[in-house]
Amino acid sequence: MTRTVRRDNETDRQLVLLVGLVAVCAVAVGVASLYLVAGSLVTTPDELALVAALVFLAAVGVTVKWRVRIRSTAHAIAWSEVAILVGLAVAPATLVVLCTGLGVGLAMIVQRIARIKATFAIAKNMLVASAAGAVLHTLNWDPELAIYSVAFFGPLVTAYVVAVVLDEVLTIPVIARDTGTGLCAIFRHNLGLRISSAVIRFPLIVAILLILKADQWLLVTIPPVVLCIHLAYAGHARARDDQQAWQRLARATDALNVVDLDAVLSIAVVQAADLFSTDRVEVELNEPARLVQGNSDGVQYDGPTGSAPTPHMRTVIAVPLAGPGSTLSVGTLRLCLTGPVKFSDREHYTLRTFASALCTAVRNASLYRQLNQVAERHAREAAQDELTGLANRRRLMEHGSELLGRRRTSGITALLLVDLNHFKEINDTLGHGAGDKVLIQVARRLSVNVQPGGLVARLGGDEFAVLLTTLPAPAIAAHRADALLAAICEPMELDGMRINVEASGGIAVAPGSGGMAELLRRADVAMYQAKRSGGRTAVYARSRDTADVGRLALGGDLRRAVAQHEFNVDFQPIVDLGTGEVIAAEALARWQHPDRGRLDPKRFLETVERSGLLPAFADAVLEQSLIAAATWHEAGFALPVAVNLSPRSLLDRRFPGAVLARLQAHDVPPDRLILELTETLTLSQLEVVDQVLGQLRDAGVRLALDEFGTGYSSLSMLSRVPVHELKIARSFVMSMEASSEAVAVIRSTVDLGRSLGLSVVAEGVESEPQRRTLWTIGCTAGQGHLFARPMPAHRLLTALQCGSGGRPGSLASPLHDEGAVVRIDQTRRAGQRHRNEKVPHLPA
Ligand code: C2E
Ligand code: CA
């Protein structure tokens, strides 16, 4: 994008051509004049003196001049027209033309003016002299006429105007070419000065002619007079020029008074190029490094310092951008000119003033920019979540309120609240960095999959919200929410590991009143409904609201619950599916809440796990379970007790020690305790989990995988976690009658258990057909409402003692007692026997 003013060869060639053209014309005029003069040879002393006087006059005329610099070129306003017209009054035009050429030539030699400039000056003045002479000749001008007559004045004025105009016409194109400036710009430059000087010079011509009429020899007095007038005028002109320069400086510094840094720099470049008449201006900033180049037409380069074009410039005047009296500069201002130029003192002073003003402007603009950035960042931070770049809670509330407050909205607005399940475990096991990556991926998936017009926000932690807008019907909200949750739950690559993130979603449609706060609350309630029901999403249902509101408040009561021993444990028997005999019991926690009555674990477990009270809770459950086991044992039933573990307990290195100490305290053998583990990411990926489980197993404690088949990569987990038992999730047992797929899952779990030598227990057996099918498949143990609901330890003991059909220790009739035809292939029977032999804890 760089375009640089440069005096290249092409420009030089054009300049030589132009000057050559003027010179050729002048030579022609000169030759013609010489031819005409040759007829009347100058020989007398008077004639020689006249020639000398004319030559001297012409030399003085071009020497005494008012110089104006345009870029690198000094442009001179000289007195040559005065010399020419005075000459024409005393000598023939041909002689004046030749003497002018000679006089100017001599002046050029004395002043050591460059050849091309000298040639141009000689040729131009000869042409001006011949043109003025031709006008006077044509108009029959007679210098002898009375000086105040029209016949004298008219031709003289005409010849003078022609001389002045021709001078301009010849000079302007040459300067324009030489400086690379437009013709109009050159024409306008100092126009007032040129016109006024031309006007002033004419009366001088008249005055000189008056003197000459008195005595021709007074001609020699003219040069000193001209010099005096020139000096007087030059002083006046300089003062005016200075004044104008200050005015221009004031305007230029005024223009810098803007707050946008880009604007400051481009204004500085243009103003400096105009103010100092330079070919190029550079402003280089230190911090951050930046270079802006340009000329009076505008900026031509703006970028890093290293890659700027650097055409050769003969004059570079650099001045630091520092405030008055300050040594700390913000950069440098450079004025570049193609030719050799020496700045006047005034120009130096102007430059320093301009640089100081520019420094202030740059500082102000930089500060303003920084302020703006800070303000923008604050505004962004106030509305944005830093980690994911999503809207934050505040932005969601503002946007939602604005949307709900609109009188006319197209369609229905709904809010989906998303909560990642087990996110804390991801954080705890894989580290916060991995947790952050998961949150970022979830944010991206939500943003990509949300419909246009929707707003995705992160409310904090692992909680996200999606505002669904312009829905055609409320039912569509659930549909869209399902799609969004499905997108989140797609497997995700995390540092080369493939993990599944599970999420629950609560959906609420915008209520008639209550605004965003109520919408958010309802979506929150719906989300907990989803979590409780085990489904992925739930739509807000008013009927279930109050309970949930209470559930949210439970957190505050936990501490008291632990201190006041409000947690107690019920036991659900696990039976041999074939004989109906109780072979173990699962401990299930209950909270005896003083106000809310008995609460089951789904309503408080998550709150317990999120609070710091999990160890105390787990301890209370274990204590009661072991007391129960010891009591049953004393009564003659050596039942193992199965206790559910929260995954987080496995991250506690002190946990095995605590368990073993309690076993010892109650004198319960370790193999009478079964710890049920939920399949989670935690179990399969952390060393501490391996150690905790290893210690427990080595001590003889039995381990079971709860809800097998519903968690993470079940098979890969089995290879790492050394369990003794698999528990088939209730959801499979429930679906068994309707779904062949569920049967297939159970069958393969049973087969897997057999091949690994593990017991398999089916959960949630509610009917005899389920029991039979499980038995047929080869599943030998189960629990469920068919046999017994969870009950207090003492009631279980009573049930055991009474038994079913008069058989102590039994809760159901044996399958063969009912005469059922159960076809079990031989291998299953063998496996069954084998396992029965391996389970020594049958009721005594
Ligand atoms: P789980 O380990 O799968 O426990 C079985 C759940 O199924 C129990 O619910 C039990 O009451 C229920 N259940 C048993 N048989 C049937 C049946 O035939 N039909 C139906 N519909 N339900 C049946 P509960 O007691 O509400 O426990 C829920 C979950 O809470 C448990 O699921 C377990 O994961 C967790 N949990 C319970 N107690 C504790 C505990 O002390 N510590 C920890 N960490 N978790 C516990
Ligand atoms: Ca369990």
Ligand 1 atom 45: residue of nearest CA:
644
**Per-residue confidence (pLDDT) for residue 69, from 0 to 100:** 63
Q: Ligand 1 within 6 A of 605 CB?
A: yes
**Per-residue confidence (pLDDT) for residue 193, from 0 to 100:** 74
**Per-residue confidence (pLDDT) for residue 830, from 0 to 100:** 36
CA distances to 414, 505, 539, 599 from 511, rounded to whole Å, are: 9, 18, 13, 30
Q: Ligand 1 within 6 A of 644 CB?
A: yes
Q: Which of 526, 517, 401 is nearest to 474 (CA)?
A: 526
**Cα 232 from Cα 225, distance rounded (Å):** 11
- Enter the tokens of residue 557: 């009561």
Helix axes 45-63, 222-255, angle to 10 degrees: 10
- Long-range contacts at 485-491 (CB < 8 A, ≥ 24 apart): 485/418, 485/536, 485/537, 487/445, 487/446, 487/448, 487/449, 488/418, 488/420, 488/442, 488/445, 488/446, 489/536, 490/445
Q: Is 731 exposed, middle or buried (0-12, 13-18, 19+ CB in 10 A)?
A: middle
Ligand 1 atom 17: residue of nearest CA:
764
Q: What is the mean pLDDT of the segment spanning 480-499?
A: 88
632-673 pLDDT per residue, tens: 999 999 999 999 998 888 888 899 999 999 999 999 999 999
**Separation of 665 CA from ligand 2 center, angstroms?**
24
Ligand 1 atom 23: residue of nearest CA:
764
Residue 730 CA: which ligand is closest? Answer: 1
Q: Is the Cα dihedral 150, 155, 156, 161 positive or negative?
A: positive
Q: Ligand 1 within 6 A of 609 CB?
A: no
Helical (H) or strand (E) element with 660: helix 655-665
Question: Has residue 310 got a pLDDT over 80?
Answer: no
Q: Ligand 1 within 6 A of 602 CB?
A: yes
**Separation of 644 CA from ligand 2 center, angstroms?**
5
At 72, the pLDDT band (50, 70, 90 cuts) reads low
| 590 bridge partner residues | 568
At 423, the pLDDT band (50, 70, 90 cuts) reads confident
Question: Has residue 844 got a pLDDT over 50?
Answer: no
User: What is the percent of the chain with per-residue pLDDT over 70, rounded to a whole number?
Assistant: 87
**Separation of 673 CA from ligand 1 center, angstroms?**
17
**Per-residue confidence (pLDDT) for residue 247, from 0 to 100:** 87
CA distances to 425, 434, 776 from 431, rounded to whole Å, are: 9, 6, 45
**Per-residue confidence (pLDDT) for residue 306, from 0 to 100:** 80
Ligand 1 atom 21: residue of nearest CA:
764
314-347 pLDDT per residue, tens: 788 999 998 766 667 899 999 998 777 888 888 8
Q: Ligand 1 within 6 A of 766 CB?
A: yes
**Cα 655 from Cα 175, distance rounded (Å):** 96
Give, for ligand 1, the residue of 421, 588, 659 to mutate: max count of ligand atoms closer than 8 Å to Cβ: 588
Q: What is the mean pLDDT of the chain?
A: 84
SS3 (DSSP) at 496: coil
Q: Ligand 1 within 6 A of 600 CB?
A: yes
Q: Which of 343, 336, 345 is nearest to 315 (CA)?
A: 336
**Per-residue confidence (pLDDT) for residue 698, from 0 to 100:** 95
Ligand 1 atom 19: residue of nearest CA:
764
Q: Ligand 1 within 6 A of 624 CB?
A: no
Rounded to 10 degrees, the C-alpha dihedral 747/750/754/758 comes to: 170
92-140 pLDDT per residue, tens: 999 999 999 999 999 999 988 888 889 999 999 999 999 999 999 999 9
**Cα 195 from Cα 188, distance rounded (Å):** 11
Residue ranges near ligand 2 (ion) with Cβ within 5 Å: 644, 676, 706
Report all structural domains of the chain as residue ranges with CATH numbers, in order of start: 8-246 (no CATH), 259-375 (3.30.450.40), 393-540 (3.30.70.270), 566-813 (3.20.20.450)
In ligand 1, which atom is closest to the CA atom of 621? 41
Is 587 or 711 the better-scoring residue by pLDDT? 587
Contact 731, 709 (CB under 8 A): no
**Per-residue confidence (pLDDT) for residue 307, from 0 to 100:** 80
At 198, the pLDDT band (50, 70, 90 cuts) reads confident
Q: Ligand 1 within 6 A of 274 CB?
A: no
**Cα 495 from Cα 498, distance rounded (Å):** 8
User: What is the percent of the chain with per-residue pLDDT over 90, rounded to a whole number?
Assistant: 37
Q: What is the mean pLDDT of the segment spanning 565-579?
A: 95
- Least trusted range by pLDDT, from 562-576, 702-716, 768-782: 702-716
In ligand 1, which atom is closest to the CA atom of 676? 2
Residue 645 CA: which ligand is closest? Answer: 1
At 219, the pLDDT band (50, 70, 90 cuts) reads low
**Separation of 596 CA from ligand 1 center, angstroms?**
20
In ligand 1, which atom is closest to the CA atom of 765? 18
HEC letters along 142-176? CCCCCCCCHHHHHHHHHHHHHHHHHHHHHHHHHHH
**Per-residue confidence (pLDDT) for residue 98, from 0 to 100:** 93
Q: Ligand 1 within 6 A of 589 CB?
A: yes
Q: Ligand 1 within 6 A of 572 CB?
A: yes
The separation between the first and the last C-alpha atoms of the chain, rounded to the nearest angstrom, is 96
Question: Has residue 811 got a pLDDT over 80?
Answer: yes
Q: Ligand 1 within 6 A of 790 CB?
A: yes
Q: Ligand 1 within 6 A of 625 CB?
A: no
**Per-residue confidence (pLDDT) for residue 242, from 0 to 100:** 79
| 51 bridge partner residues | none
Angle, CA of 742, 746 and 749, to the nearest 5°: 140
Give, for ligand 1, the residue of 763, 783, 789 to mutate: max count of ligand atoms closer than 8 Å to Cβ: 763
Ligand 1 atom 4: residue of nearest CA:
588
**Residue 549 Rama label (left phi>0; alpha psi -120 to 50; beta):** alpha
Q: Ligand 1 within 6 A of 763 CB?
A: yes
Q: Ligand 1 within 6 A of 679 CB?
A: no
**Separation of 806 CA from ligand 2 center, angstroms?**
29
**Per-residue confidence (pLDDT) for residue 831, from 0 to 100:** 37
Is 296 or 569 the better-scoring residue by pLDDT? 569
**Cα 516 from Cα 396, distance rounded (Å):** 9
**Per-residue confidence (pLDDT) for residue 680, from 0 to 100:** 62
Helical (H) or strand (E) element with 228: helix 222-255
**Per-residue confidence (pLDDT) for residue 147, from 0 to 100:** 78
